[in-house]
Structures are given as C-alpha cells and as structure tokens.
Amino acid sequence: MKKLFIDLKNEIYQLWENNLELSNFTKLPKDLIYNEVQPNYILPAKKLENWQSHSLETMRVHDIIKQLSPYVNWKQTYEEKDVGKSFLEKYGYFELFGPTGHFLTNKMSLYVIFLDAENFYTWHNHEAEELYFVLSGSAKFESKADESEILTPLKTRFHKSFQPHSLTTHNEKCLSLVAWRDKLNSEIKVVKN
C-alpha cells in the first residue's frame, strides 16, 4: 500500500508544479513523512469504485485515489443533526498531507473530498484559507461576496478565512483536492446562510 500512497503523492506534486493557481496558493512540502493511519472505509467512499474519470489531466490521480479508497482514513466531521442523514450518506474526506494525514507535515494540509451526485454541502466556514481543485465531476460553488460558479476538472475556487461557502452537486459526483494554509487546526462550523 505504501507504494500507492507514494505514487499518489508524486502525481499530486506533478499536478502542483504544472498549475500556477495551486503552486501560488501554497508550496507542497518536500519533507513529507509517510504515516500509517488506521483505515476507515465509509459507505460513501464505496461509490468511487466504479467511477471513471473523463479528464485526461487528472485521470491518474483519480484512479490512484479509487485504488487507495479502502485503505485511507475517511472522515465526515459533521453530525447528522447539523447536516442531515442524506448529506452524510453522500460525503466523505480524508487528510492526505497534514498534521494527522497519511503524510505528515505542519506546513499545510491537503484533503481529498468526495461528494456524490445530488448533494448539498451546507454553508460552513473555518479560519484556514482554502483552495479547492476539482479532479473529477463537477459542483456548484457558492461563497459570500463572490459569484457562484460550476467547477469542472482543473478549475479552482479560493475561500478566504471565515468566508461562508457551500457546494452543490447535481447529476455528477465531485472529487476534489482541498488545500489549507495557515490555521491548520481550524474548526469547521456550519453557518446560517
């Protein structure tokens, strides 16, 4: 398994080097330490199994994430009372790089987030600044003080510190990388629209 994690890390480094929005947002640390984390394979993550990427530029990353999916520490953060059962049945994420990730660093965090089709990730915020990068599928991104837009593979969306934002998937799933800089221990809070 370690080899697959290293392959994913290397593919992400290459993606980062070839994308100015990613590399300008934060540099990827060169001193990442592989960390064996207890797997937590949740039901929503199983929906990745038969999903084929149609984006040539991100297909390799998508495919490795699919292969690793049963072996990563998927999380959900939220409680049903805050976001609803339907959302939790269609959402999951894991920390790939970061203080508790599959690769350890205190310089930044990089998450992989999966949203199934027909899902609404409610309005929320956090202190850390954030950049979404869509790998596969699409989602409508909304944030206070910004125009809403539908992001497809290779598109990014920046969220400022404490800027409320939400995501909606329609007829497609969405798999994204999400980078955090500064305040890596930020608490994610559901906020009223």
How would you class 110 by CB atoms within 10 Å of its CB: exposed for 0-12, middle for 13-18, buried for 19 or more? buried
Q: Are strands 156-159 and 165-169 parallel, antiparallel or unpaired?
A: unpaired
Listed by start position, the domains of the chain span 2-190
Low-confidence ranges of the chain (pLDDT < 50): none
The model carries a pTM of 0.96
Instruction: Give whole-number Cα distances, 51 to 117, 173, 182, in Å.
Output: 12, 9, 33
Q: Which two tokens stand for residue 97?
A: 């790089």
**What pLDDT sits at residue 193?**
66
**What pLDDT sits at residue 9?**
98
CATH number for the segment(s) 2-190:
2.60.120.10
The answer to whether 75 and 92 have CB atoms below 8 angstroms apart is yes
End-to-end CA distance of the chain: 42
Instruction: Give whole-number Cα distances, 81 to 50, 86, 115, 125, in Å.
Output: 30, 11, 19, 18
